[in-house]
Amino acid sequence: MLQHLNFLTAGESHGKGLSGILEGFPAGVPLSEDIIAHDLGRRQKGHGRGGRMKIEQDRAEILSGLRHGKTLGSPIALWIKNNDWENWKTEVMAHEKPVNDIPAVTLPRPGHADLAGVQKFGFTDIRNVLERSSARETAMRVALGSICRVFLRELDIEIASHVVQIGPVKTVCEVIEDLNELNEQADRSAVRCLDLKLTQKMMAHIDDTRRQGDSVGGIFEVLASGVPAGLGSYTHWDRKLDARVAAAMISINAMKTVSIGDGLDVATAPGSEVHDEIIKVGDMIKRATNHAGGIEGGMSNGEMIRVQVTMKPIPTLARPLKSVDIKTRESGIAHKERTDACAVPAASVIGEAMLALILTDAILEKFGGDSLTQVKAHLAATGALT
């Protein structure tokens, strides 16, 4: 669904590391490894994460596409080392056949890619599936998205996120227009919740659930301000901005619904409460409200983009569900791995990265330009209807 930009990731969860390439990105964008490290660090946080995040201190090395602090317009290649590889390289994840036989994982976890994955590839060891289907891969998406975030910031477009719900504990969404302030406030909460009292309740719910050997999901919201009107298009199904945003969000591991603006509430409310009246503010044409979440007819309409995403509970359970052994066909209980009990806060940072990638693509599609200077000039010349 990307029209101009391309990106690719590679790497297994306990492999040597993750690789990523961002291609079609303009020249002249200021970039450093420290900038990317900031967002990678934010992805690693959040109450409910498992032991893995204590092992990793994610940092992306920039291998190409950068000179003297500015992007070159050539492909940007990144590398994130998996510290945990040291513990896996000689046996379970060895590139060569190991000296000792490694027992295969044969009890698929309900809710994971395990069973459908072995059926698809004809594997007899579920590890061949779970290593790549793991959300470890999203660390690279965050790194690539953070490059796009720098570009967007140069155009005064900001992206932020916060957690709206963990299990049954739900907050009423506050509107904070300044997304830097919103993100700073969310970053201060161990669950990225803007309400500090609810932060405590959410943490307690995660702890209770974990104690019972279970896992918990939730909802997060991603927002973008300063987005010019007219990104995306109503002319083709696959150029619609809402379709592109939805595909990007649902592609994140464990995401099950994506809604834009008022989302599910639009099913019950009458039209007069759902559609945003068009008003004059001075010489500008504006909206009185933003129920649409900044997208109408598959295009940005100049208002704040608001996307809510639902994450299901993590499938690996300390008290595993029933399963069937793919080798013996005997009933058993699902395989157990070291696991998170809740990863909704981390997922919201991944959601920011996916929105950054999609908006960068849509900006480059509409305004073009090989360099940041050219994109800025094109943007200034277009003058969106205000």
Task: List residues binding ligand FMN (CB under 6 A).
Answer: 50, 111-113, 133-135, 138, 252-254, 312, 314-316, 339-340, 343, 346-347, 350
Q: Shortest gap between Cβ of 256 and ligand FMN (angstroms)?
A: 7
The nearest distance, CB 266 to ligand FMN, in angstroms, is 25
Please give the structure tokens belonging to residue 176. Answer: 């904070």
Identify the burial level of 81 via C-beta atoms within 10 angstroms of its C-beta, where 0-12 means exposed, 13-18 middle and 19 or more buried: middle
Nearer to ligand FMN, 133 or 183 (CB): 133
Nearer to ligand FMN by Cβ, of 252 and 375: the residue is 252
Among residues 118 and 346, whose Cβ is nearest to ligand FMN? 346
Which pair of structure tokens corresponds to residue 34?
């420290």
Rounded alpha-carbon distances, angstroms, from residue 177 to 65, 125, 174, 309: 34, 49, 9, 20
Nearer Cβ to ligand FMN, position 129 or 157?
Answer: 129
Question: 155: which 2 tokens?
Answer: 């155009």
Q: Closest approach of Cβ 11 to ligand FMN, in Å?
A: 14
Looking at the Cβ atoms of 276 and 340, the one nearer to ligand FMN is: 340
The CB-of-289 to ligand FMN minimum distance in angstroms stands at: 31
Tell me whether residue 2 or residue 343 sits nearer to ligand FMN (CB atom).
343
CB of 61 to ligand FMN, least distance (A): 22
Give the shortest CB-133-to-ligand FMN separation in angstroms: 5
Q: What does the radius of gyration of the chain's CA atoms come to, in whole angstroms? A: 22
Residue 252 C-beta: closest distance to ligand FMN, Å = 5
Residue 44 Cβ, how far from ligand FMN at the closest point, in Å?
A: 9
Report yes or no: 203 and 192 within 8 Å, Cβ to Cβ: no
- Nearest CB to ligand FMN, comparing residues 75 and 111: 111
Looking at the Cβ atoms of 207 and 365, the one nearer to ligand FMN is 207
